[in-house]
Amino acid sequence: MTEYSLQPSYVQLDYSTPFGNHSQSIATVQWIPTSITGDMGSYVAWNTVPIDAEAMIDAFVAVEAPFLGTDYSYDLATIFNFDGAANKFLPVATKALAVAGTGATAQPRKAVSQTFNYRSTGGGAVKLTFLDSSHAGADFNKQSFLDFNADAIALFAEFSSDANGWSARDNTRPSTAISVTYDLNDALRKQYHMT
């Protein structure tokens, strides 16, 4: 496994907003083709107990939904596994999602990025970013873990659980919540032709 890469496997979650289509790429432990209850294979979780890939993804999308507005949706989950012979990632399993967001549609949100910042057990940085994220605050100040609401705590608990196979890019488990930050994404502002 290459440190600070998505190897050996990762999940891509594609989602849509009224402004554009986006995706999240989240590293995992080694994907296994054998399914347990679903149709997407499985992982050996950090606690060494097998977990079904589809069940793990479904549970994660459920705790991510509050960070997407009600007119947003998760559309597709794809698992990619690194193929050593081909020396590239190959898609190995996919699932249509159609999971609507359950969060606010406060303004601003167009081209706003929300990033959850964590640390791994190996000390590496881990980030989860949501694009076109609602931001009702009057400023873009950093929010510490002590100020996380129930939805943010639930997201961290699911992402860091040793019963799952989510991974940091240093090939260790996400373990410590640090902060959440908001920003206006310059690339999206350009893409959306915002002045």
Question: Taking each helix axis from N to C terminus, what angle separates 53-64 and 150-160, rounded to the nearest 10 degrees?
Answer: 160
List the chain domain ranges. 9-191
One-letter amino acid for residue 5 of the chain: S
Per DSSP bridges, beta strands 50-52 and 42-44 are antiparallel
Q: What is the pLDDT along the chain (195 residues), one digit of tens a residue?
A: 556 689 999 999 999 999 999 999 999 999 999 999 999 999 999 999 999 999 999 999 999 999 999 999 999 999 999 999 999 999 999 999 999 999 988 889 999 999 999 999 999 999 999 999 988 776 788 999 999 999 999 999 999 999 999 999 999 999 999 999 999 999 999 999 997
- Which candidate, 120, 114, 10, 5, places its Cα nearest to that of 57? 10
> What DSSP element (H or E) covers 32?
strand 31-32
pTM: 0.94
DSSP tag of 146:
G
- Residue 20 to residue 191: CA distance in whole angstroms: 9
